[in-house]
Amino acid sequence: MWIVDGGSRDKTVEITQSLIKEHKKFHCIPTQTKNVSTQRNVGAEKSIGTWLVFFDADIRIPSYYLEGIHYNLMKKKCDAWTTWCSPDLKTPEAKLVVQMQNIAFEGGEMLGIPYAVGAALGVRREVFQTVGGFDALLSFMEDTELARRIHKNHYRFSVFRDPMFVYSTRRFRKEGTFSLIAKLAPVFTTSIITNNVGNISSIYPMAGGSYYVKRKKDFPSSLLRIREVERIMKKVMHSKRKEIQKTMKDLFDSFSSS
């Protein structure tokens, strides 16, 4: 396991060093470049094995996660994957965020325009190298851009509903759930319509733990933008109505049982 640190100001390196003493397979690489794509590419270059699995530092996985992935890969052949996620808190806001993520995963796979988050993403090493890895010019939606590039090169991208990783909603708590949804939704919608991902890292800064010191206020006016995005999404997904209805039912069933 390679932990690539981009000059963090928290205790990442200190904690990693303590783990290295207990687990010889743990490694830590400091980099001067603070760019998530660059850091993931560095980790991929150093690692070995058939599969590359990328995790964000703030997510959590159950002990059986990788075993569950192995089981899925024996049943279904694919070249890259992500999985559904569950919320880190049991609040309605956290559940909403996670349900929107899972809908995006499923909708992207149905429409042939994959959506992925680097929080939990697996890629065959050979495929990762063939398509050129993460785009180092991007620091936002670089994970989705890679997934779509993999798909464009006729490799198979899959979404597994189980096992789930625990998604961190701390950024939503920091900025306000509806404010951040309203800010990100138009970007996501545009990426579906145009099938392109722009480099707009200013609206989603990658500053590590130091970013989460203070929380911004949430603004009800953000709901207006969300409604507009909802209207566009309905139009885009009209052709896949039956499949999406089934997926939505599954999602809401899981939501109500959680």
Considering only residues 179 and 243, tell me which one the structure prediction assigns the higher pLDDT: 179
Please compute the mean of the pLDDT values over residues 35-51 and round it to a whole number: 93
Q: How many CB atoms lie within 10 A of CB 257?
A: 6
Query: How high is the pLDDT of residue 218?
Result: 47
Please compute the mean of the pLDDT values over residues 143-154 and round it to a whole number: 95
Q: How far is CA 39 from CA 59, 120, 168, 225, in A?
A: 17, 15, 20, 33
> Which tens digit of pLDDT belongs to each residue from 157-178?
999 999 999 999 998 998 888 8
Query: How high is the pLDDT of residue 44?
Result: 95
Highest mean pLDDT (candidates 57-61, 163-167, 197-201, 249-253): 163-167
Query: How high is the pLDDT of residue 211?
Result: 47
Query: How high is the pLDDT of residue 235?
Result: 61
pTM for this entry = 0.76
Q: How many CB atoms lie within 10 A of CB 183?
A: 15
pLDDT at 257 over 70: no
How many CA atoms are closer than 13 Å to the CA of 239, on its beta-carbon side? 4
Mean pLDDT for all residues in the chain: 82
47-257 CATH pick, 3.40.190, 3.30.70, 3.50.50, 3.90.550: 3.90.550
Query: How high is the pLDDT of residue 255?
Result: 53
> Which tens digit of pLDDT belongs to each residue from 91-112?
999 999 999 999 999 989 988 9
Spatial contact of 140 and 166, defined as CB atoms under 8 Å apart = no
Query: How high is the pLDDT of residue 67?
Result: 97
Token couple for 211: 């970013």
Any idea which of 119-133, 142-156, 231-245 has the lowest mean pLDDT? 231-245
Q: How many CB atoms lie within 10 A of CB 7?
A: 12
Residues 6+ apart with CB under 8 A from 55: 61, 119, 120, 165
Query: How high is the pLDDT of residue 139?
Result: 78
> Which tens digit of pLDDT belongs to each residue from 210-251?
444 554 454 444 455 555 555 655 565 565 556 655 665 665
Q: Taking the domains of the chain in order of start, what are their residue ranges? A: 47-257
